[in-house]
Amino acid sequence: MAYHLLQRDRPAALHLARALDHAVESVKHCSKCNNFSEEEICVLCRSERRETDLLCVVEMPADLLMMEQAQCYRGMYFVLMGRLSPLDGIGARELPLERLLKRAQELSCEVILATNFTVREKQPRITLRHYCGHRVSRFTHRTRIAVGGELEHVDSGTLAQAVLERRAITE
């Protein structure tokens, strides 16, 4: 990409460099939801139009974006910024799970696990549950995104159905 821009479009290269420089300097993590934000608390967490009786845990900012685009959820979020996967060396210490626990306790609400677990990895869900407080639910198998599904590849209709048909985790 750098070679291409240097050879074909130097103004664009400069624009990209400045934009990246600005992002590196000013973008941090929202202290509530952990998503990228230029403010201490992001626009979504500051909004008074959001419902605070639901907290949805997603892996990446793109997942949050998908949920927002589907317009099927009005609650709060927590973005893990990664996938809990002990087999790949990403355990509880590598993700901000203590902050998730703090947020779940602060809101004291139902927590929806909208994370992508594969069949072989049941442990991450058990670990995550520990950090989500006592009322935890997840999407059902029927909507086909509970196990091994990638949230960002799910259409809006299916996502809306998943939110409606979520099921409490009791195991």
* Residues at the interface with Zn ion (CB under 5 A): 30, 32-33, 42, 45
Identify which of residues 50 and 83 has a Cβ nearer to Zn ion in the complex: 50
Q: Which residues, in sequence order, are CB contacts of 159 under 8 Å at separation 6+?
A: 66, 67, 70, 72, 145, 151
Beta bridge partners of 6: none
- Least Å distance, CB 155 to Zn ion, is 26
Tokens at residue 49, please?
Answer: 């139009």
Identify which of residues 103 and 125 has a Cβ nearer to Zn ion in the complex: 103
Identify which of residues 32 and 125 has a Cβ nearer to Zn ion in the complex: 32
Three-state DSSP at 78 gives strand
Identify which of residues 31 and 127 has a Cβ nearer to Zn ion in the complex: 31
- Least Å distance, CB 28 to Zn ion, is 11
Question: Phi and psi (nearest 5°) for 91?
Answer: -105, -165
Identify which of residues 88 and 98 has a Cβ nearer to Zn ion in the complex: 98
- Least Å distance, CB 35 to Zn ion, is 5
Contacts 24+ apart (CB under 8 A), 85-90: 85/121, 85/124, 86/121, 86/123, 86/124, 86/127, 87/120, 87/121
- Least Å distance, CB 31 to Zn ion, is 8
Contact of 6 with 13, CB cutoff 8 Å: yes
- Least Å distance, CB 33 to Zn ion, is 3
